[in-house]
Structure 1
Amino acid sequence: MQQHLTIFDPFEGMRFGNHICFLCGTRVTADQQTPVFPAWLMEKYSLGHEPLRLLDQSVVTYQDLKIPCCAQCQTQYLGPLEEKVQEAVSKGVPGLRAIDEKLLFQWMGKMFYGTLITELIKEQNPLVRPEYAVSEQPKMLLKFQSFFRVLQSLRVPMVFPDFIPASIFVIDVDASAEPSQFEFRDELSTMMFSLRLDNALIVCCLLDNGMIKDSMRRVWQVVEPRQLQPIQAAELSARIFYAGYLLNVIPDYLVRPVKPQDEHLVMDTLIDDVTNVIFNPWQHSSYAKLLATMWAKWGITQEDILRDPQEPLSMLFSPEGEFIEFPTIPGQAK
């Protein structure tokens, strides 16, 4: 197979370290690194010195979170991607909705993967004993291996013929009451990732082949054209994150046989759905617990959400299913 169509798989033999380019596997020197969160984003939201808590509960600053990367991957692949996304972000919600979803997947995937391999590199240190070592969880590693196969589309020309590996939602949030706003949330086990950039909120499940977006199609049709209040955007985030918890399948990806003249790889996807259960059953109590964390800043508790155990509190839809234009927040005067 042509060299430029060769996929690197660091999960075979757990080849992670500060001397291996995260994207292509080339050996690099200690100073060849790229920031997990791009420099332009850190500058725009003054993130450099802000703290970020990792899985092992250690705290780093955004600017200190870096991963090994060779000069070629930096200049040929990451640099051009950052330029395209930066331009889209400058145009707000319309710009982010217009950009190719594959590029958004790669951009968010690189940040997600950057935090993940920081954990994996740290776990190789014999003095570090994380409570939940990622490298000791075979099912999680399988999931990350599948994800990295399609994230290689950053470097290897790759076509996804009838799917996109992720579910990506770009939500319009009324930011008028809030100053310049950046929020970041990720969830390693469910592969959920969200970024709030002023009035644009991007929520993404990075490995579901769009199944979450498909399952939320009716809700999304109502919500997508509207500008949401921050409390409504938080609720929609909770619904998407909770769907990530319920997802019960791991997509696998296979490369179609490559012919000598091929200039790109074509990926097919396979879902082992022998169990026929794509999503586990929805449970109001588990959902309410997650929603309460998203609504904490408004002082809304799990008990508030479950006043009616059959109908959790919603700021998006009335009990009759109508969209709520101006939600009344409990405990706040109308």
Structure 2
Amino acid sequence: MAVQIYSPFNNFNFSNSKCFLTGQQLSSTEEKIQVFPQWLMSRYGLQDKPFKLLDESIATYKDLKLPCAAAVNEEFLEPLESEIAEAFAKGYEGVKALDELKLFQWVARLMYGILFNELQSGIRMQHAQGEEFSISQSLLHKFSHLHLMLQSINLPVVFEEFTPYSLFLFKVDNKEEEFGYRDEINTQTFALRVADFGLVMCLQDNASNQRYQREVYDKIKDETLHPIQFEEFSGRVFYSNYLFNRLPEYEVMPVGEEIFIEALPLRGFNSKPLFEEWVVKTYGQVVENFWKPWGFLLFEIIKDPNQPMSFLFNADGEFIKAKSIELPR
């Protein structure tokens, strides 16, 4: 019998009575898991810290939950969490040694968990106003494909000769207890800076940002970064993923007991470049936000539009060693 793909966006069912991953009926609406795993919340004391949703409402990290069948959690999600937690405990070297697909699945599960809570919040708010919940077709397209790829956790999914994400991993000289987290749900961009590492991931770009940022990444990937350097590179990736102007399309082919996902060519019949034009002022606004802990303002960052302020490279394009940067970590 062919394996069954669950598609919650077909009928927009985001109730707490169905498992988020498989769609199976739950025995209780209390059958849930945490979006941010307990080991991560305990390690960084996140449980009661505020988490701002897109509708401006405030939850706490521990409030964010996903309906999940106990058997699905036990068989598929807990082993993944254990592997990720063990890698994180070893720091940069442990994360570097991880199977990239496992890291992608973990990040996708976390991002989808936040999205699920955002959708529930939006549905409640619009229903309270007597309106039907609506979402743009482009976001529906992205979110449904995110959920499809997330099912590589519990189904025999094969990504046919393509990588669905871009991943950037660095060693970073962080403060011991610091938890640096950032996401952009609409573009599906994720950054995490903890322990002695930082990672940035674009979840559904078919490695396009990896190629776009290759020249910069190749210059710095083997260096230990100051946190402000990591935030600068994160800003570059968040901005470039915003400029990415394609909605990737996929061919999904269940064959026997496996599901093959093939990426269709990104260029298709579109003659436009894959990325919109890089605008220095807009990039400066992004970096200003990422550099808030250090207080740099937009006018300082883009004082010279041809060479915006950078802690990664000097005027000659050479990498700036983290130890030479005289700023607080």
Q: Calculate the TM-score normalised by the size of structure 1.
A: 0.91
Where does residue 275 of structure 1 map in the other structure?
270
CA apart distance, 1:294: 0.7
How many residues in Structure 1 have an aligned counterpart in Structure 2?
322
CA apart distance, 1:172: 1.0
Instruction: Specify the code of the residue in structure 2 equivalent to 1:119.
Output: E
- Structure 2 residue runs of 5 or longer lacking an equivalent are none
2:7–2:148 Cα contact (<8 Å) kept: yes
Where does residue 239 of structure 2 map in the other structure?
242
Does 2:219 align with 1:222?
Answer: yes
Change in Cα spacing, 1:163 to 1:50, as seen in structure 2 (3 Å) is same
Report the aligned-residue RMSD: 1.9
In 2, Cα distance between equivalents of 1:249 and 1:150: 18
In 2, Cα distance between equivalents of 1:288 and 1:96: 30
Aligned positions of 1:70-81 closer than 5 A: 70-81=69-80
Where does residue 187 of structure 1 map in the other structure?
184
Instruction: Specify the code of the residue in structure 2 equivalent to 1:14.
Output: F
Where does residue 294 of structure 1 map in the other structure?
290
CA apart distance, 1:220: 1.1
In 2, Cα distance between equivalents of 1:123 and 1:314: 38
In 2, Cα distance between equivalents of 1:86 and 1:226: 24
Q: Calculate the TM-score normalised by the size of structure 2.
A: 0.93
1:213 is paired with a residue of what secondary structure?
Answer: helix
In 2, Cα distance between equivalents of 1:310 and 1:61: 42
In 2, Cα distance between equivalents of 1:315 and 1:41: 30
CA apart distance, 1:205: 0.7
Alignment deviations for residues 84-119 of structure 1 (CA, whole Å, 9 cap, x no partner):
101111111111111111111110111100010111
In 2, Cα distance between equivalents of 1:57 and 1:234: 24
CA apart distance, 1:139: 1.1
Where does residue 156 of structure 1 map in the other structure?
155
- Structure 1 residue runs of 5 or longer lacking an equivalent are none
1:124 is paired with a residue of what secondary structure?
Answer: helix
Where does residue 30 of structure 1 map in the other structure?
29
Indicate the larger mover: 304-313 or 273-282.
273-282
In 1, Cα distance between equivalents of 2:6 and 2:254: 17
> Aligned residues: percent identity?
37
Runs of 4+ that moved beyond 4 A: 126-129, 326-330
Where does residue 203 of structure 2 map in the other structure?
206
2:11 is paired with a residue of what secondary structure?
Answer: coil
Where does residue 115 of structure 2 map in the other structure?
116
Alignment deviations for residues 301-324 of structure 1 (CA, whole Å, 9 cap, x no partner):
110011111111111012221111
Instruction: Specify the code of the residue in structure 2 equivalent to 1:311.
Output: Q
In 2, Cα distance between equivalents of 1:316 and 1:102: 29
1:12 is paired with a residue of what secondary structure?
Answer: helix
In 1, Cα distance between equivalents of 2:59 and 2:169: 28
In 1, Cα distance between equivalents of 2:128 and 2:196: 39
In 1, Cα distance between equivalents of 2:181 and 2:320: 26
